[in-house]
Amino acid sequence: MKQILIPVFALSLAASPLAAQTDAPAPEDDGVSLMEEGAKLLLRGLLTEMEPALDDLQGLAEEMGPRMQMLTDQMGPAFADLLDQIDDITQYQAPEFLPNGDIIIRRRDDAPEFTPELPEDIEL
């Protein structure tokens, strides 16, 4: 008889719910709001950690601003002249770096014909 009671007792324990289990499902809103709160805390912590670096970056931008404006004023016309010598950057292949240090930018084979207007006197 003891041999029958032990398996029946084990099956009854397995079939009954544990004390920690509840029949009512947990509301989903609590999980979402906890996730949102965790994300907010994480982002606040990151912002606090990054604040000194952002302040340094702002100082660097203020220092470099006039220099960048001067570079734009001086290099802008030269860059415009360079762009006049090529028709469309998408008509060229990626730069190829040679072992001797030369850089070749080849025109694509399927690119349409292009003849730039060059000045008569070119100083090299």
pLDDT digits (tens, 9 = 90+) for 20-45: 555 555 555 556 788 888 899 999 99
- Across the range 72-94, mean pLDDT stands at 82
- Over 80: is that where the pLDDT of 61 sits? yes
Return phi, psi of residue 97, to 5°.
-100, 120
3-state SS, residue 79: helix
The DSSP annotation for 36-66 comes to HHHHHHHHHHHHHHHHHHHHHHHHHHHHHHH
Residues 6+ apart with CB under 8 A from 112: 91
More reliable by pLDDT, 90 or 26: 90
